[in-house]
Amino acid sequence: MRHLRPTFEIRPPSKTLGLINYFWGLSLLLFGSISHAWEASIERDTLGVPHIYGETDADMAFGLAWAQAEDGWEILEETLPYYRGNAASFFGRDAAVTDYLIQWLGFWDVIERDYDALLKPATRAYLEAFAAGFNAFAAQHPDRISLDVLPVLPQDVIAAHMFRHLLFYGFEKTLTDLRAETRQFEISDAPMLPNVGITLGSNATAIAPSRSRDGSTMLMINSHQPLTGPVSWYEAHLESGEGLNVMGGLFIGAPTLGVGFNQHHGWGATVNQPDLVDVYLLDIDPEDDNRYRVDGEWLELEAFDIPIRVLLWGWLPWTVRERGYRSIHGPVMKTNHGTYAVRYAGMDEIRQVEQWLAMSAATSFSEWQAAIALQHIASFNFVYANADGDIHFIHNAMMPERAEGWRWDQYLPGDRSDLIWQRYLSITELPSVTNPPSGFVHSANQSPFQVTSAGSNPDQANYRKESGWPTRMTNRAVRGLELLDANPAISFDDFSAIKHDNAYSPRYRGHKYLSLIANLEARDDEETQAIELIRKWDLHTDIANRHAALGVCVLLEEWQAERANDPLPDARETLHKCIASVRKVAGRLDPEWGAIQRHGRDNRTWPAAGGPDTLRAMYAEQLNEEDDFMTVVAGDGLYYLIEWTADGKQMIYGTHQYGSQMTDPTSPHYLDQAEAFAAETMRPSGFQLKNRSARSRTYQVSDR
C-alpha cells in the first residue's frame, strides 16, 4: 500500500513559494487527471449561494469543492496543516500541541491502513473528486495560494472529520486533566452514577401536525457555531443526476452536509457530550517503565517517534522528536503521577463521510434511520421531521458498551482486560423518541430525557447508567420547552417567534444566582443603581432593553462557572465585576442592549438582540479596546425554518450570519445578509427554483 501521510517540506515564502505553486498548477492544467475527468455547473443566486449540479455524485463533489474554494480557499489552506499534523512547520511553536495530538492519536496510520480496505469504492471516488476540485481551482488561481499545502488529498478530508469529531464531544478536557500536576480523578472501585456532560450550543425543534394550528409539520435547523473560521457555516445546494438533491450547511473542507433538508424531510444537529472517553491507569513494571500488566501478564508498550517540525523564525525550521506510546487500550501518556491509556468513541473510525453521505441521500424516514444506524458519527443529537408528519429525536453516540458497576467517570484500573470495551451500544439502546404524544421535540444541548412534554420523554430508567448521559438543562432547553408547552396550536409565525425568543426563563438554573445579586444590600450609590437595574430586568435581551447589559453579565458569570464545574463566584464580586465591565464598554450602567451588542464585521455592524444561552443565541466579545460595543462572534449562524403544509406544499425560510463569501471583503456577498440577519428577517430559500432570480449566474467548472 502506498504511504499516505503527507510529508511537505518547508520552503521560504514569497517568490520561491509562488514559483512552486505556479509550476505545480501549470503541470495540472497541462496534464490534468490521468484517470478521471470531472465537470459540474455552479449556479450562484442573487445572494451568491452556490447551487451545484453534476451528472454524477462525484462530479457534484468536484463542483462543491470548487465553490468552497471560491468562497473560502484561505480557510481550507490554513486548516490543512492542522489535520495533517505539520502545522508547527507553518505557524510556529504554538501549533506544536496540535501536531503532537494528531500523531499521538495515530490518525494517519489508521487512514493508511483502512482507507482502501474499509471505505466503499463510491466513497473513495467521491472524495477523490472533491479533492480534485480544490486542486483544479488552485491550479487556475495561483494568486490565491499562500502556503505550500498542495495537493489536497482525499485522505485530508478523512483526517479532518476524525479530528473535528473529538473536539465536538469534548475530548480535549481529558488531555487537560491528564497533563495536570496531580491526578484529577480517583480510581473506580464501586458503582456510582457517571459524570455530567457539559455542552455549549445549538437548537433543533420539530412540530408534528397534531401540535400545529393547521396540520403542518415544521422543523427548525439552528446549530450554533463560531461565525468565522474553519467551523463556521457555509451554505450550499447539492444536486446530481444520480438522484441527490439536498441543501443545508457544512464547513469549508467538508464534502457533505452536516445539517440540511430536501423536499421530503430535513434534520438538525445539536452537540451532545455524553461520557465517550475512558482513561485507564496502567500497572507499570517498576523495573521497566515500558512494560504494563494486564490479567497478570506483562505486555510491552508500543513506542514510536513523533517528529514535530517547528518554524522558529522566518523560514528556518527545527525538528523536535517526542516519543509516543500505545497499549492495547489505546494511546498512552506518561506523567509524573502515573502512566495512563486513553480509549475513546470513534477511535480508528474513518467512515464518517459515508454516514453523512447516506443521510443526505435518504429520501424517506426509513432510509434516514438506516443511515443513522451506520453509527460512524461519534456524537451529535439529531432532530428530524418530514412531509408525512413524522418527527423524531435521537441522542446519537458511539456509546461504548461498558462493564456494569464501575465508576466510568473516574479512572479505571488498566490491568483488567474485561474493562477494555470492544463494541458500541446499538442504535436501539440510545435515548430517542418518535412521534411523541406531545407533538413536538426540542433539543438544546440538554438531558436527552427532557426533550418534550412530561409523559412523552424517553425514560432514563430504560438506559444504561454507565453511559454517562448528560443531565444538564440549558436556558434554551427550559425556555423552549415552556414556550412549546404553552401553545397547543403552533402557527408558523409562532414557530418563528419561538426561534427568535431572546429571554431567560425564571425557571432557568442561573436565575437563582441573578436573584442572589438582586437581593444584595447596596453599600454605595453605584451599587444601588446597578442592583435596581438588575431587579427591574424583565429577563429579555431586545435591542432597546436598558437592563440587559448588567443582567446578561451576571448570568454569563454563572454560566461560565457551571460549565467549568467551578464554584459560583461571590455575588458582590460578580456585581462589581459586571459594573466595571459594562462601564468599560458603554461608559454607563444602562446602555440599550442593541447599542453595545452588535452583529457584523470589518467595521460594519448592526444592533442585535439575543444573548448567551437564549434561543436567539448570541455570544459577543469586545474585539478591540477602543470599541464601545461588543461584536457577536458565535451562536446563531446559518439557520432555517421549514414547513410542510397539510396540502402538500413546502415552505423554507433561512438566513446566514454574513453571506456566501467567507474571506473576501471586496465581494458583494461578504456581508450582504448581515443586516437582515441582525434584524431577524429570513428569506425564502433558493432550494426551490421559483425562489431563484433570473439574475442568477451559472458557469461550468472542470478539470479538463
Residues 139-166: tens digit of each pLDDT: 999 999 999 999 999 999 999 999 988 8
Instruction: Cell 464580586: give the residue.
Output: 573
Instruction: Using a pLDDT cut of 70, give the percent of the chain over it.
Output: 90
What is the average per-residue pLDDT within 455-482?
A: 95
Q: How far is CA 248 from the centre of its chain?
A: 14
Cell digits of residue 525: 450609590
Domain hosting residue 599, numbered range: 510-614
H helix runs in 486-547, sequence order: 492-499, 510-518, 525-535
* pTM of the complete model: 0.91
Q: Is residue 115 within 8 Å of residue 4, measured between CB atoms?
A: yes
- Coil, helix or strand for 231? coil
608 belongs to a structural domain: yes
Q: Between the CA of residue 577 and those of 160, 527, 582, what are the distances in Å?
A: 40, 11, 9
What is the average per-residue pLDDT within 108-128?
A: 97
The reported pLDDT for the residue numbered 15 is 32
Instruction: Cell 429520501: give the residue.
Output: 363
534 belongs to a structural domain: yes
User: Distance between CA atoms of 681 and 703, rounded to whole angstroms?
Assistant: 39
User: Distance between CA atoms of 49 and 52, rounded to whole angstroms?
Assistant: 10
* Residue 285 β-bridge partners: 288
pLDDT above 70 (res 194) = no
556 belongs to a structural domain: yes
* Residue 339 β-bridge partners: 334
What is the average per-residue pLDDT within 196-218?
A: 83
Q: How far is CA 688 from the centre of its chain?
A: 27
The C-alpha angle with vertex 262 and arms to 663 and 435, in degrees rounded to 5, equals 120
Confidence of residue 704 (pLDDT cuts 50, 70, 90): confident
59 exposure class (CB count in 10 Å sphere: 0-12, 13-18, 19+) = buried
pLDDT in tens, 373-413: 999 999 999 999 999 999 999 999 999 999 999 999 899 99
Instruction: Using a pLDDT cut of 90, give the percent of the chain over it.
Output: 82
User: Distance between CA atoms of 170 and 192, rounded to whole angstroms?
Assistant: 22
The total number of residues shown for the chain amounts to 704
364 belongs to a structural domain: no
What is the average per-residue pLDDT within 229-236?
A: 96
Confidence of residue 17 (pLDDT cuts 50, 70, 90): very low
User: Distance between CA atoms of 522 and 532, rounded to whole angstroms?
Assistant: 9
Q: Between the CA of residue 232 and those of 114, 463, 544, 558, 640, what are the distances in Å?
A: 29, 34, 29, 26, 15
Query: Cis bond leading into 50, ω under 30°?
Result: no
Q: For the packed helices 510-518 and 548-563, what is the interaxial angle rounded to 10 degrees? A: 130
User: Distance between CA atoms of 417 and 403, rounded to whole angstroms?
Assistant: 11
Q: For the packed helices 525-535 and 510-518, what is the interaxial angle rounded to 10 degrees? A: 140
Long-range contacts of 173-180 (CB under 8 A, 24+ apart): 174/277, 174/279, 174/342, 174/344, 175/101, 175/333, 177/279, 178/279, 178/333, 178/335, 178/340, 178/342, 179/333, 179/335
User: Distance between CA atoms of 206 and 220, rounded to whole angstroms?
Assistant: 6
Instruction: Cell 448570541: give the residue.
Output: 618
Domain count, the chain: 1
Cβ density class 463-490: b for 16+ within 10 Å, e for less: bbbbbbbbbbbbbbbbbbbebbeebeeb
In single-letter form, the type of residue at position 389 comes to G
The reported pLDDT for the residue numbered 309 is 87
The reported pLDDT for the residue numbered 556 is 93
pLDDT in tens, 310-328: 876 665 667 888 899 999 9
Q: Is residue 637 within 8 Å of residue 618, measured between CB atoms?
A: no
**Order of strands across the sheet with 316-326?**
302-313, 316-326, 331-335, 338-344, 277-281, 412-413
Cell digits of residue 186: 480517583
The reported pLDDT for the residue numbered 694 is 76
Report the CATH number at residue 551. Answer: 1.10.1400.10
pLDDT above 80 (res 180) = no
Q: Is residue 74 within 8 Å of residue 144, measured between CB atoms?
A: yes
User: Distance between CA atoms of 430 and 310, rounded to whole angstroms?
Assistant: 44
End-to-end CA distance of the chain: 28
- With a CB cutoff of 8 Å and minimum separation 6, the contacts of 94 are 88
Q: Between the CA of residue 402 and those of 79, 198, 496, 644, what are the distances in Å?
A: 35, 21, 42, 42
The reported pLDDT for the residue numbered 315 is 59
The reported pLDDT for the residue numbered 69 is 98
Instruction: Cell 454574513: give the residue.
Output: 658
- With a CB cutoff of 8 Å and minimum separation 6, the contacts of 552 are 541, 593, 611, 612
Confidence of residue 563 (pLDDT cuts 50, 70, 90): confident
pLDDT above 70 (res 23) = no
- Coil, helix or strand for 145? coil
The reported pLDDT for the residue numbered 185 is 57
In single-letter form, the type of residue at position 479 comes to R
* Residue 601 β-bridge partners: 604
pLDDT above 50 (res 196) = no
448 belongs to a structural domain: no
Q: How many CB atoms lie within 10 A of CB 250?
A: 22
Confidence of residue 178 (pLDDT cuts 50, 70, 90): low
The reported pLDDT for the residue numbered 181 is 61
pLDDT above 80 (res 1) = no
What is the average per-residue pLDDT within 216-226?
A: 97
pLDDT in tens, 61-117: 999 999 999 999 999 999 999 999 999 999 988 889 899 999 999 999 999 999 999
What is the average per-residue pLDDT within 417-429?
A: 97
575 belongs to a structural domain: yes
Q: Between the CA of residue 686 and those of 246, 282, 497, what are the distances in Å?
A: 11, 56, 23
Question: CB-side exposure of 315: number of CA atoms within 13 Å?
Answer: 11
Q: Is residue 701 within 8 Å of residue 40, measured between CB atoms?
A: yes
pLDDT in tens, 569-598: 999 999 999 999 999 999 999 999 999 999
The reported pLDDT for the residue numbered 197 is 29
User: Distance between CA atoms of 413 and 317, rounded to whole angstroms?
Assistant: 41
The reported pLDDT for the residue numbered 183 is 56
pLDDT in tens, 603-642: 999 999 999 999 999 999 999 988 999 999 999 999 999 9
The reported pLDDT for the residue numbered 186 is 58
The reported pLDDT for the residue numbered 310 is 87
Question: CB-side exposure of 647: number of CA atoms within 13 Å?
Answer: 1
Q: How many CB atoms lie within 10 A of CB 606?
A: 16
Mean pLDDT of the chain, nearest integer: 90
Q: Is residue 657 within 8 Å of residue 674, measured between CB atoms?
A: yes
- With a CB cutoff of 8 Å and minimum separation 6, the contacts of 486 are none
355 exposure class (CB count in 10 Å sphere: 0-12, 13-18, 19+) = buried
The reported pLDDT for the residue numbered 202 is 92
pLDDT above 50 (res 24) = no
Q: Is residue 656 within 8 Å of residue 671, measured between CB atoms?
A: no
Instruction: Cell 465581494: give the residue.
Output: 667
User: Distance between CA atoms of 678 and 659, rounded to whole angstroms?
Assistant: 13
Cβ density class 311-334: b for 16+ within 10 Å, e for less: beeeeeeeeeeeebbbbebbbbbb
The reported pLDDT for the residue numbered 564 is 79
The more confidently predicted of residues 99 and 12 is 99
Instruction: Cell 437592563: give the residue.
Output: 547
What is the average per-residue pLDDT within 350-357?
A: 97
- Coil, helix or strand for 80? helix
pLDDT above 80 (res 330) = yes
Q: Between the CA of residue 427 and those of 100, 343, 369, 382, 447, what are the distances in Å?
A: 33, 20, 9, 13, 18
406 belongs to a structural domain: no
pLDDT above 80 (res 184) = no
573 belongs to a structural domain: yes
The more confidently predicted of residues 13 and 578 is 578
